Amino acid sequence: MSVSLVSNAYLDDASSKIRSKPVPWEGYQRADLVTSEELALIKKIDRQSRAKTESLLLNDGQTYALLYLRLLKKLQRLDTMQYILVLIADALADHDERIPLFTRTAENEPELPYGPLTRVLDMQDEFMQLKSAQILTVLLCAEPRPLAPSQLHQFLGTLATMVQSNSPNKHDVGVQCLESLLARPECRQAVWAIPGIIAGLVEILKHKQGPQMCYQVAFCFWLLTFEQNIAEEINKKFDITPLLINVAQNAVKEKVIRVIVATFRNLVFKAPKANLPAMLVAQLLPYAKNLCGRKWTDEDIVEDVQYLRDELSANFQSLTTYDEYTSELASGHLSWSPVHESDDFWKENVTKLNEKDYGQLKTLLQLLNDSQDPIVLAVAVHDIGQYVKHYERGKKIINDLGAKRRVMELMSHSDSDVRYRALMSVQQLVSQPWISV
């Protein structure tokens, strides 16, 4: 697989400034920090024209790869280390065939090439961190054998802090590095083991990004969902379905919609039981039907959209109203769908909330306690009232589960609809006769 260096305007600009600064190589030799042989080699290439540098790397590439990494390992001064990172990236730019020159240095010293580059990640200098991430990504992605967790752990920890930071440059470089790494299955599992990365990507998407960043983050999700275990759990843990639908609906670029639709296809194909209910609750079916009617330049998107529509339609037909209700509960996205206000629905299904040790009722109460969304709270507190109204022991159960206090608290919520629904439910709790066991 061909891998190019991640591109970033800040890195390009800073690199060009660093190239033009002189480095006191003779001083390093006098201080016994570099040998006379190393000095002779570096002086040949230091601040030379591109043509001269290319000629030296063509003839002595392995020597220079080893030299750069050894200097990075032993020198401590920030500006010199920055310069060495620029030399390494310049050697690799547009020259995939030079990657093995760097990865083969492990034959000379086991700590190379990754040790010095990983150490740089810990430095509190943004340029150093981003530049070493740029280089590490190219080297790791080109490794012929599967990467060991130990090779990835520290780097992925840094990428987690990058995608969770407030720096646009860290977001940009971090996401591009992940796009490249996630092409490798062992990297997908390693990334999945670091929740901070997925949480960071979700947050980036929530903050209305430009089309390129939306595409790159969605591309990361697409790659992750090729793994069975991730496809089964990602929506349950990170609620990505409604978010991705929202991003697709607001997208102006076809490629953003294409990669999100392809992600949904993976989720449905790999783990239909885990994903179809949440997709139906999030109204993906009408959106998929809408997409089927559009003209697309890419044939793949047509096939993916039709697959999604067909799978969702088939699942929708077999849903009972109670399935719909439990899907809504499981997704955490309660809304005023018809079931909530249907007396017939509650008469028929109220006791099902008690099954499996009150499993569904407890899910409802969890939403009542944890949600910040006024619509979810209004629907949840309304449903508690319906449960008490239609189930003779409902009042006692709600009391035993400690939910009465929370319902009463919501009577002073800032949202008027939440206050009204809470008041209605409290009336049910107070007026219903107490049935003891």
pLDDT of residue 437: 42
pLDDT band at 209; cut points 50, 70, 90: confident
CB-CB contact of 142 with 2 (8 Å): no
DSSP 433: P
Does residue 192 surpass a pLDDT of 90?
A: yes
Q: Number of helices (H) and strands (E), helices first, in the chain?
A: 26, 0
What average pLDDT does this structure show over 150-179?
A: 95
CB-CB contact of 215 with 253 (8 Å): yes
Give the CA angle between residues 289, 294, 298 to the nearest 5°.
110
Does residue 255 surpass a pLDDT of 50?
A: yes
CB-CB contact of 275 with 231 (8 Å): yes
Query: To which residue do tokens 């390494």 refer?
Result: 88
Least confident residue range of 82-86, 265-269, 319-323: 319-323
Grouping H, G, I as helix, E, B as strand and the rest as coil, residue 402 is: coil
Cα dihedral 197, 199, 202, 208, rounded to 10, equals: -100
CB-CB contact of 274 with 230 (8 Å): no
Does residue 4 surpass a pLDDT of 80?
A: no
CB-CB contact of 386 with 340 (8 Å): yes
Query: Domains along the chain?
Result: 1-145 (no CATH), 189-319 (1.25.10.10), 322-430 (1.25.40.150)
DSSP 11: H
In this structure, what token pair is assigned to residue 360? 């569904």
Give 160: exposed, middle or buried? Use CB within 10 Å, 0-12, 13-18, 19+. buried
Task: Return d(Cα 153, Cα 207) in angstroms, integer.
Answer: 28
pLDDT band at 434; cut points 50, 70, 90: low
Distances (CA, A) of 410 to 369, 378, 401, 423: 10, 9, 17, 8
144: left (phi over 0), alpha (psi -120 to 50) or beta: alpha
pLDDT of residue 2: 54
Does residue 240 surpass a pLDDT of 50?
A: yes
Task: Please report, rounded to a whole number, the percentage of residues in the chain having pLDDT higher than 90.
Answer: 81
Comparing C-alpha atoms, which of 219, 204, 302, 316 is closest to residue 260? 219
pLDDT band at 33; cut points 50, 70, 90: very high
Task: Return d(Cα 214, Cα 256) in angstroms, integer.
Answer: 7
What average pLDDT does this structure show over 118-138?
A: 95
Comparing C-alpha atoms, which of 185, 176, 186, 99 is closest to residue 150? 186
Comparing C-alpha atoms, which of 235, 233, 241, 229 is closest to residue 288? 241
Radius of gyration (C-alpha) of the chain in whole angstroms: 29
CB-CB contact of 248 with 260 (8 Å): yes
What average pLDDT does this structure show over 211-234?
A: 97
Segment 320-367, tens digit of pLDDT: 788 889 888 888 888 888 789 888 889 999 999 999 999 999 999 999
Global model pTM greater than 0.95: no
pLDDT band at 435; cut points 50, 70, 90: low
Backbone angles phi, psi at 302, to 5 degrees: -60, -50
Contacts of 12 (CB under 8 A, 6+ apart): none
Segment 38-84, tens digit of pLDDT: 999 999 999 888 899 999 999 999 999 999 999 999 999 999 999 99
In this structure, what token pair is assigned to residue 324? 């719909």
Residue type, position 199, single letter = A
Q: Give DSSP secondary structure letters for 260-297.
A: HHHHHHHHHHH-HHHHHHHHHHTTHHHHHHHHHTS--S
Comparing C-alpha atoms, which of 260, 171, 176 is closest to residue 221? 260
113 prior amide bond cis, ω within 30: yes
Does residue 283 surpass a pLDDT of 70?
A: yes
Task: Return d(Cα 239, Cα 191) in angstroms, integer.
Answer: 17
Give 437: exposed, middle or buried? Use CB within 10 Å, 0-12, 13-18, 19+. exposed
